[in-house]
Amino acid sequence: MTGTPFLEVRNLTVEMKGESGAIRVLDDVSLRIERGRTMGIVGESGCGKSMTALAIMRLLPPGFEITAGQVLVEGEDITRVPEARMRALRGNDISMIFQEPMTSLNPVFTVGDQIAEAVKQHQGLDAGAAEQRAIEMLKAVQIPGAEARLHAYPHEFSGGMRQRVMIAMALACQPRLIIADEPTTALDVTVQAQIFALMRELQQETGTAIMLITHDLGAVAELADDVAVFYAGKRIESGPAGAILRHAAHPYTSGLMSCTPRLRLSAAARDGAAVLREIPGMVPQLGRMPQGCRFAPRCPLADDRCRSVMPPDVEVGPAHAAACWKAETEVMA
């Protein structure tokens, strides 16, 4: 992978200004998202993966702030550009699909209106052309009877259909990156599969890059080309999906995988032994982070160095890095 990636996040740090000082919710995170590829961002709730997405969009909730680092879109650092430039990017070059299709659509406007809006905003189409585009988009996300449904309101759609509308909205301006923040968490399992299939299909047609945020490693295995694993506000491992799924370098990543039934089965088949593992203990509270590696208190391999010094990113394979003192030895072994 050479040249500038579409999106590069460099040493991004986000803090929440609270009454008792600033709390770091995202610490020194770096990522590269290549054109046309899918990056899976994995981690538990609260590990900072959604914060990363909102920081890239510069839509952090009030009180949260980017305090260090850069977000480069084709080399342009968007953490410092004026709001107007940011608006031109949002929905046009980078768009976002949110976790809650039930509440992410405005209940008082028709879905057609909400899809056409972005097109009018960014591409200056007139009302008729924008509506035409909205119909095309509804067809693209396979909503039956697109022309009629254009004038329907969100409450007249099921959850899965609403998420399709969200996808249609995100794709309307043919963005080069779609950030999908747990797009299927709120949906039934069968609907999840349909939505993923749809996203994969649309990606093949449009060549957009996808940043898929999820806590479901199964989804990552299915969709992602690259993977980044987050733990307690830090990106602790990243690399090609295949490499990570086969040889997780960070003990947390392997712990996470052994908790995912589908993957555990394949791992068991490979190793010839079903090892049912779990990660003991709890994620440390933000603002009360341990001094060294954040995973050390729960890590079976942790020693004194892990508990006192934060491990740096270590190259463990081609484009595969992990922030763990033990990573190297594990891969070698």
Partner 1 sequence: MQTLRKLTPAFKRVLEAFGLVMAVVILNFLLIQMAPGDPVEVIVGEMGGASEELIAQLRQQYGLDQPVLHQLGIYLGKVLTGDLGYSYYFNTPVLDLLLQRVPATVLLCLSALFVAVLVGTFAGAFSARKPDGAGSHIVTVISLVGYSAPVFWIGMMLLILFASVWPIFPVAGMQSLRKPSGFAYYLDILHHLVLPTITLAMIYIAYYSRLARTSMIEVLGQDYIRTARAKGLPENKVIWKHALRNGLIPIVTMVGLQFGQLFAGAVLVETVFNWPGLGRLAYESILRRDYPTLLGILLFSAVLVMIANLLTDIAYRRIDPRMRKART
Partner 2 sequence: MMSSEPMQATAAPVEAAPAAKPDHPMRETLKIFLKNRSAAGGLILLGLILFATIFGPAIYGVDPYEMVWMPLSPPGDGTPLGTDYIGRDILAGILVGGRVTLIVGAVSAVMTIVIGLVVGSFAGFFGGRVDAALMKFTEFFQVLPSLLLAMVMVTIFSPSLGTIIFAIGIVGWAQIARLTRAEFMRIASLEYVKAARAAGARDGYLMFRVILPGSLPPIVVASALVTGASILFEAGLSFLGLGDPNQLSWGLIIGQNQNYLMDAWWTVTCPGIAIFLTVLAISLIGDGINDALNPRARKRG
Q: Which residues bind partner 1 (CB under 8 A)?
A: 57, 59, 87-92, 95-96, 98, 100, 103-110, 117-118, 121-122, 152-153, 155-156, 166, 169
Tell me which of partner 1, partner 2, none is bound by residue 288, counting a contact when its beta carbon lies within the kind-specific cut-off of 5 to 8 angstroms: partner 2
Burial class (CB in 10 A: 0-12, 13-18, 19+), 38: buried
- Distance in Å from the first CA to the final CA of the chain: 27
Smallest distance from the beta carbon of 26 to partner 2, in angstroms? 9
Distance (Å, rounded) from C-alpha 172 to C-alpha 216?
27
Q: Which is nearer to partner 1, 109 or 308 (CB)?
A: 109
Write down the least CB distance from residue 151 to partner 1, Å: 8
Kindly state the DSSP code that residue 90 receives in the 8-state scheme: B
Cα–Cα distance for residue pair 292/311, rounded to 1 Å: 7
3-state secondary structure at position 50: helix
Residue closer to partner 1 (CB basis): 23 or 166: 166
Minimum Å gap between C-beta 64 and partner 1 is 13
**Contacted by 156, from partner 1, partner 2, none: CB < 5 to 8 Å by type:** partner 1
Residues in the chain: 333
Query: Strand pairing of 314-317 and 76-77?
Result: unpaired
| Among partner 1, partner 2, none, partner that 155 touches (CB below 5 to 8 angstroms by kind) | partner 1
Q: Which does 16 bind (CB under 5 to 8 A by kind): partner 2, partner 1, none?
A: partner 2
- For the bound state, the minimum distance from the C-beta of residue 224 to partner 2, rounded and expressed in Å, comes to 17
Q: Which does 95 bind (CB under 5 to 8 A by kind): partner 2, partner 1, none?
A: partner 1
- Structure letter (DSSP) for residue 307: H
* Residue 266 interaction partner, one of partner 1, partner 2, none, beta carbon < 5-8 Å per kind: none
Six-digit token string for 247: 């040889």
Three-state secondary-structure class, residue 83:
helix
Q: Which is nearer to partner 1, 61 or 272 (CB)?
A: 61
Q: What is each CA distance from 224 to 24, 46, 61, 80, 214, in whole angstroms?
A: 28, 21, 28, 30, 11
Residue numbers at the binding site for partner 2 (CB under 8 A): 16, 18-20, 23, 25, 44-46, 48, 51, 61, 215, 255-256, 259-261, 278-280, 282-283, 285-288
Q: Minimum Å distance from CB 280 to partner 2?
A: 8
The number of CA neighbours under 13 Å toward the Cβ of 190 is 0
Strand 209-214, strand 38-42: pairing: parallel
Query: Which residue, 147 or 303, has its beta carbon nearer to partner 1?
Result: 147
The DSSP-derived string for 187-215 is S-HHHHHHHHHHHHHHHHHH--EEEEEES
- What's the rounded Cα separation, in Å, for the pair 142 and 197? 11
CB of 148 or CB of 269, closer to partner 1: 148
User: CB 229 → partner 2: shortest distance, Å?
Assistant: 12
Q: Which amino acid is at 242?
A: G
**Binding at 90: pick from partner 1, partner 2, none (beta carbon under 5-8 Å per type):** partner 1
Q: Compare residues 159 and 284 and give the one whose CB is closer to partner 1.
A: 159
In the complex, the smallest distance separating the C-beta of residue 138 from partner 2, rounded to whole angstroms, is 33
